[in-house]
Structure 1
């Protein structure tokens, strides 16, 4: 296992395993980088690194699909695993266990370095020179409301009293060279902090960090408890402190090895239209909403900086790998804290974060004596739907552990044959609903409430599978394997 302390060493490692596609020809500055990245997701190709982008200075680069499925079929989650300092061959459940386990370990606080030691401040742009137009920011999709300046960067903000520093990912659209507009959801952590600045009548300082150490991007995009420090949690995953440096113009610390840091203040009003944007559910966006303006005041960057991007849409992109794993790890943590003997949790990539599988061990009835599967299903829903992260998940399936939850073919087989047409489910009405999940009616979006469901697919008796593994004597199977192919 190896932790990558900056984006460049991570890209080099991926390149060495054949998982980088070097695009050396010049690409346009509008749609071509995004379209290539989107196709790379859909055919599971190496991650594209764009070396020449029209309209920007030589040396400025774009990097697509940083945490998507790997092109290596023998290690599909390698980009996520390596980002977190895990072995590239780690399975999905192993990554989820690591994310959950780190929440119970002491955090390792970041360490501040001097500006001269911080690669992110090799170049400092102030005033009119601090302009987004100099960077290769493409349109993500052709129906979007503008160029999206943030799809995989980390937003750093803190409460006015300085007690809570939050690192997160939220989509931010470029308005012009000196302004951006970001989607700030009141229930999310950045929304809670922005609300405190609004109450004070002061614009919120922010730093938007592009291309930090991959673990920073990953942790910024997954749920951890409110008021927890992402920097400390990343230090735990890395086994070493994150080096940070004081921002040039703000009282915020930023990752020292980042590629680009944008500094400024966020308006206290929702004074600019944001969107539409093609989101993780797999559909092009429609409509826009009033959101706060992010004013650009100072920009710092490394020499020949790399701007990473996630082009969300149909599976499989970072929303369906890293973010889904983070949500599953959050669910696993809360269920185990409720003393339920969960084997693992998993969100199939192709469900676009609309399904959660809760996997029970074969002996769960022995571990929960006197509890029926109906009662277990109800309890699982009661625990999960109280958590913030589950606002995104409308459907939960409680399943046995006799199939591989990460194999979509097996998931479809198991759910198709075990979900009862009308019964064996716990319905939870009047749950929190936001517009990002695609399955609700307009009236439910307006009301902010709708139903969620937990399906009980647990077998009263384990049935043997009509399969090679379970349908033949062991000596026959071994003889066939020894002579395969004939």
Structure 2
């Protein structure tokens, strides 16, 4: 597999000159993020020398939608279909012993100091400190033994403590159950996982579905897992680093501000706290960080949302052809949907289905299947020539939205849909797209160009 581990994926990217290597020493405070941001979406970056550390840092390993499709051994158009199929048909993982797991080559259980052990960056000007941004937080349901995987922002708040933002989703549900019993929730934070497991960690699934089993299905072979040293959690055996710990009951501490995906800061508030009990890592381990609001951040969250959105719309309009959560809309707020229109009114039905899929979705553009939804110029052309606000606009006020959208009133705002599909009763030549015969067959090399 080209994406069996972070290392094999980096080797694959290097073969096509998609990895930049920085040899000079960089500061983990701002400088590392600043350099990586200049290459965002163009190349992954390996920082060989980070001031104060022997461990290199890698950034941007899946900062391009096409790269993610390659890692999943498909193309951009089939990516969400392959992802959806894997989510619907999880495959059990394969357990290995500790001596078989590279991530167990070094085990630290005493005198833990996160900032001495790991080159955890400070990314933005007003971030409250060093943040782990590419850590897969894994917890186990003690009743079903199923695990849940998600990415949560993690602030270093002490030598062996992390502040964690738990949104009202599955990890938070399991923690609340444990806290109600006065118990901590055991967890593991995986840093430097393979890109497929990074992607499946963001799957929108019913409670009780193990995202690591979705990774197995998407890979086409069981993901090897190993049991942690100090907690009852299984982690990818080929990961670079694992931080083990417990989310403490009835303990809260200040966390934030932190630069988030909408390119604004999430404010400071009291959040849950993780007490770290161990760190394990590979020989010559690499630390993976995600630049918040960069393409890697956006695409990892956006593609699983596309898969979920596609399935929701398909229940209402079976002829949906494709969906795209655009990077300009932070891969959360803006959706472009293409359909093969068979009945009038379907475009508006798509809009309402999209709103129902996720409260984050704010603006929806619906186009015909001849429009390339991944080409912003094509989408804008459809808006310009196939949309009239008088009859094609859907506007809904007072809806729940994202609290990280500063234009809302504490998360409450308006949503808008644009039906840019061609009317079925239109005269055929009126919307006939111009074309030059033979254009697709021209090779400029044949003309000396």
Whether the TM-score (by the shorter chain) exceeds 0.5 is yes
Q: 1:426/1:132 Cα in 2 relative to 1: closer, same or farther (>3 Å)?
A: same
- Partner residue in 2 for 1:81: 69
Answering whether residue 417 of structure 2 is matched by residue 417 of structure 1, we say no
Q: 1:130/1:124 Cα in 2 relative to 1: closer, same or farther (>3 Å)?
A: farther
- Partner residue in 1 for 2:302: 324
- Partner residue in 2 for 1:138: 121
Structure 1 CA distance for aligned equivalents of residues 226 and 419 of structure 2 = 50
Residues 230-252 of structure 1 show CA distances to partners (whole Å, capped at 9, x for unaligned) of 11111111110010011000111
Match of 1:114 among 87, 97, 103: 97
Match of 1:217 among 180, 193, 198: 198
More displaced, 264-273 or 27-36? Answer: 264-273
- Partner residue in 1 for 2:228: 247
- Partner residue in 1 for 2:355: 385
- Partner residue in 1 for 2:25: 26
Q: How many residues align?
A: 445
Match of 1:459 among 422, 438, 446: 422
Contact 1:397 1:455 in 2 (8 A): yes
Answering whether residue 38 of structure 2 is matched by residue 54 of structure 1, we say no
Residues 80-124 of structure 1 show CA distances to partners (whole Å, capped at 9, x for unaligned) of 12333x14xx22x221221122233x3210111000001111100
Tell me the CA shift for residue 417 of structure 1: 3.4
- Partner residue in 1 for 2:321: 343
Unaligned runs of at least 5 residues, structure 1: 70-76, 366-370
Answering whether residue 285 of structure 2 is matched by residue 312 of structure 1, we say no
Answering whether residue 339 of structure 2 is matched by residue 360 of structure 1, we say yes
After superposition, residues 80-229 of structure 1 pair within 5 angstroms as 80-84=68-72, 86-87=73-74, 90-91=75-76, 93-104=77-88, 106-129=89-112, 131-149=114-132, 151-186=133-168, 188-229=169-210
Q: If each structure's strand is expressed as a fraction of its own residues, which one has the higher value?
A: 2
Q: 1:456/1:114 Cα in 2 relative to 1: closer, same or farther (>3 Å)?
A: same
- Partner residue in 2 for 1:68: 63
Unaligned runs of at least 5 residues, structure 2: none
Tell me the CA shift for residue 419 of structure 1: 3.6
Residues 332-371 of structure 1 show CA distances to partners (whole Å, capped at 9, x for unaligned) of 012224452101111222222221011112xx31xxxxx4
Tell me the CA shift for residue 471 of structure 1: 4.0
Structure 2 CA distance for aligned equivalents of residues 166 and 207 of structure 1 = 11
SS in 2 for 1:454: strand
Structure 1 CA distance for aligned equivalents of residues 442 and 18 of structure 2 = 37
SS in 2 for 1:14: helix
Structure 1 CA distance for aligned equivalents of residues 235 and 356 of structure 2 = 33
Structure 2 CA distance for aligned equivalents of residues 306 and 323 of structure 1 = 23
Tell me the CA shift for residue 200 of structure 1: 1.7
Structure 1 residue ranges, 4+ long, deviating more than 4 angstroms after superposition: 462-467, 475-486
Structure 1 CA distance for aligned equivalents of residues 429 and 255 of structure 2 = 52
Contact 2:42 2:63 in 1 (8 A): no
- Partner residue in 2 for 1:300: 280
Residues 369-420 of structure 1 show CA distances to partners (whole Å, capped at 9, x for unaligned) of xx422xx244334433343xx1221111221122211111222222233343
Structure 2 CA distance for aligned equivalents of residues 379 and 192 of structure 1 = 32
Q: 1:431/1:227 Cα in 2 relative to 1: closer, same or farther (>3 Å)?
A: farther
SS in 1 for 2:81: helix
